[in-house]
Amino acid sequence: MTMIPPRPSAVHRASRPTSGWVGHRVRLRGIEPGDRRTLVGFDRESASEGPPQFDGYRHWAAHRANHLEAGEDLQLAIETRQDRTLVGSLSTSQPEAGIFSYGIGIGPQHRRHGYADDAINTLLGYMFGHRRFTKCEVGIYSSNAASLTLHARLGFREEGHLRDPEFLCGGAQYLVLMGITAEEFATRRLPRAR
């Protein structure tokens, strides 16, 4: 899963999960120093998969395991509920009041198992339900069809496009801006009447 990392901003220590947030397939927990080697390994594997493309790990893998001080973004490990295998990570930020964004990366060998879907739903449930954010925004490269499809399936709506000048060496890269509101998320999760 390739996505741009969230913009930096402050987060309170009280919002960090200590025991983890649990979804159907995954558990989100704080990143531990021992996770660094696995996460950096995911980055190397992603980079060797084909044409160079931005990967969520590349710009912040080395940073996140060592920077969990108060006032920084949430840095979360994604592990399976069944056997607690580390499968990826997630990083959040709050670019403005009431809005948050995130970047997610799943290790290449763990993709297509529903882990990203469950991790995003778990994060959205927490951020909208407990932290009372009103909207989530993400930027996804237009060449990342899998992530665009996943976010559309999760209820995100396309809100615009931006050209990213950092990645023009291999051709123009466009960011597709997508968003979902707390109300849209709640409506999507309500049980359907029969």
Domain borders along the chain are 13-189
Nearest to 52 by CA among 161, 178, 171, 175: 171
13-189 maps to which CATH number? 3.40.630.30
| Consecutive H or E run containing 51 | none
Q: How far is residue 97's CA from residue 9's CA, in Å, rounded to a whole number?
A: 11
Q: What is the pLDDT along the chain (194 residues), one digit of tens a residue?
A: 434 334 333 333 334 444 568 999 999 999 898 898 888 888 776 665 554 343 444 434 434 444 434 334 788 999 999 999 999 999 998 878 899 999 999 998 899 999 999 999 999 999 999 999 999 999 998 888 999 999 999 999 999 988 765 555 555 678 899 999 999 999 987 654 44
Collapse the DSSP code of 3 into the 3-class scheme (helix H, G, I; strand E, B; otherwise coil) and give the result: coil
Please enumerate, as own/partner, the contacts of 32-37 that have beta carbons within 8 Å and a separation of 24 or more: 32/65, 32/77, 33/65, 33/66, 35/65, 35/77, 35/86, 35/89, 36/61, 36/62, 36/65, 36/66
CA 31 to chain centre: 14
DSSP-assigned states of every residue in 72-137: S--EEEEEETTT--EEEEEEEEEEETTEEEEEEEE-GGGTTSSHHHHHHHHHHHHHHHTS---EEE
Burial of residue 85, with CB atoms counted within 10 A of its CB: 0-12 exposed, 13-18 middle, 19 or more buried:
middle
Q: How far is residue 22's CA from residue 57's CA, in Å, rounded to a whole number?
A: 22
Collapse the DSSP code of 150 into the 3-class scheme (helix H, G, I; strand E, B; otherwise coil) and give the result: helix
Which residue is associated with the tokens 């499809």? Answer: 149
